[in-house]
Amino acid sequence: MADKPEPTLFERIIQGEIPARLEHEDDTCVALHDVNPQAPVHILIVPRKPIPRVGEAEDADKDTLGHLLLVARDLARRLHLGKGFRLIINNGPDGGESVPHLHVHLLAGRPLTWPPG
């Protein structure tokens, strides 16, 4: 029998083992402020289900994936980000992924340049 992998940072936050400044919480996801923000507003929208990355999401995850974007929309409205915001999903080390648990970055509060990195 294979050993169960160690819980990710986000699983530990969701389980309440690690404190976080939550902006939103529901049955599908949590949204928390990034501890190393890259913009004045930097919120991570994290599904409770530990999907490693979008490249490993299954068709059955479509409702969860859609929910993450709708939560981002709702947060942007609630936080008055009408001047604009950016959503980012990193996938794999070359994509900038640092935690192998799918999450959406919501960045705003300053002009964001292109290309991003």
Residue 4's pLDDT is 74
- Confirm if 58 and 48 have CB atoms less than 8 A apart: no
| Per-residue pLDDT tens over the stretch 27-74 | 999 999 999 999 999 999 999 999 999 999 999 999 999 999 999 999
Query: Is 103 among the residues known to form the active site?
Result: yes
Domains with residue ranges and CATH for the chain: 9-108 (3.30.428.10)
pTM above 0.75, yes or no: yes
Residue tagged active-site, from 33, 42, 80, 103: 103
Residue 117's pLDDT is 65
What Å distances lie between residue 22 and 102, 105, 115, CA to CA? 17, 14, 29
Q: What is the rounded distance in angstroms from the CA atom of residue 28 to the CA atom of residue 40?
A: 26
Q: What is the rounded distance in angstroms from the CA atom of residue 101 to the CA atom of residue 7?
A: 10
- Say how many residues make up the chain: 117
